[in-house]
Amino acid sequence: MISHIRIKDFAIIDTVELDFYEGLNIITGETGAGKSIIIEAVSLALGSRADTAFIRSGKDKAVIQMVADLNGEDYIITRDLSTNGKNVCRINDEIVSLAQLNKLCRRLADVHGQYDHQSLLNPDNHMTLIDSYNSSAVSPVKDNVSYLYRKYSNIKQELSLLLANEADSERKRDFMSFELTEINQAKLYLDEDEELSQRMNILQNSEKIYQNLSNVYAIICEASPSVSDGIGKSLHALQEISTFSNDISRFSEIMSDVFYKIDDLTSEIRKYTETVSFSPELLDETIQRINTLDTLKRKYGGSIKSILEYKDKITIELEKIENIDSIRDKLTQELKLAETELAEECKKLTSLRKSTSKEIEERVNEELKELNFKDTEFSVLFYEENYKSPCYSADGIDRIEFMITTNKGELPKPLVKIASGGEISRIMLAFKNIISDYDFIPTMIFDEIDVGISGITASIVGKKLLDISKNHQVICITHLPQIAAFGDCHYKIDKQSVNGATHTTVNPLKHEEKINEIARLIGGVNVTDITIKSAEELINLSKAQ
Res 95: pLDDT: 92
- Of the candidates 497, 258, 464, the residue with the CA atom closest to the CA atom of residue 371: 464
Q: With contact defined as beta carbons under 8 Å apart, do 166 and 473 qualify?
A: no
- The residues with which 67 forms a beta bridge, in sequence order, are 4, 76
Res 381: pLDDT: 93
What single-letter DSSP state applies at residue 55? B
Q: With contact defined as beta carbons under 8 Å apart, do 304 and 131 qualify?
A: no
Q: With contact defined as beta carbons under 8 Å apart, do 378 and 401 qualify?
A: no
Res 117: pLDDT: 40
- Sorted by sequence, the CB contacts under 8 Å of residue 389 that are 6+ apart come out as none
Distance CA 522, CA 538 (A): 10
Q: Quick check: helix, strand or coil at residue 2?
A: strand
Res 508: pLDDT: 92
First to last CA, the chain: 24
- Sorted by sequence, the CB contacts under 8 Å of residue 348 that are 6+ apart come out as 141
Predicted confidence pLDDT, tens digits, the chain (545 residues): 999 999 998 888 888 899 999 999 999 888 767 777 888 888 888 888 888 888 888 888 999 999 999 988 999 999 999 988 888 999 998 999 988 898 888 888 877 754 434 567 778 888 888 888 888 899 999 999 999 999 999 999 989 888 877 767 767 778 888 888 898 998 888 888 888 888 888 888 888 888 888 888 888 888 888 888 888 889 899 888 988 899 989 999 999 999 999 889 989 988 888 887 777 888 888 888 889 888 898 888 888 999 999 899 889 888 877 777 888 899 999 999 999 999 999 999 999 999 999 999 998 888 888 777 778 889 999 998 878 888 899 999 999 999 988 888 888 888 777 645 556 667 777 877 777 666 678 888 887 677 767 778 788 888 888 988 888 899 998 889 999 999 999 999 988 777 767 778 889 999 999 999 999 988 877 788 888 898 888 888 887 76
Q: Quick check: helix, strand or coil at residue 369?
A: helix
The pTM score is: 0.58
- Sorted by sequence, the CB contacts under 8 Å of residue 122 that are 6+ apart come out as 416
Res 349: pLDDT: 95
Q: How far is CA 299 from CA 73, 304, 384, in A?
A: 57, 11, 57
At 505, the amino acid letter reads: T
Tell me which fold the domain 1-108+441-545 belongs to.
Rossmann fold (3.40.50)
Res 114: pLDDT: 46
Distance CA 48, CA 265 (A): 90
Phi and psi, residue 383, nearest 5°: -70, 110
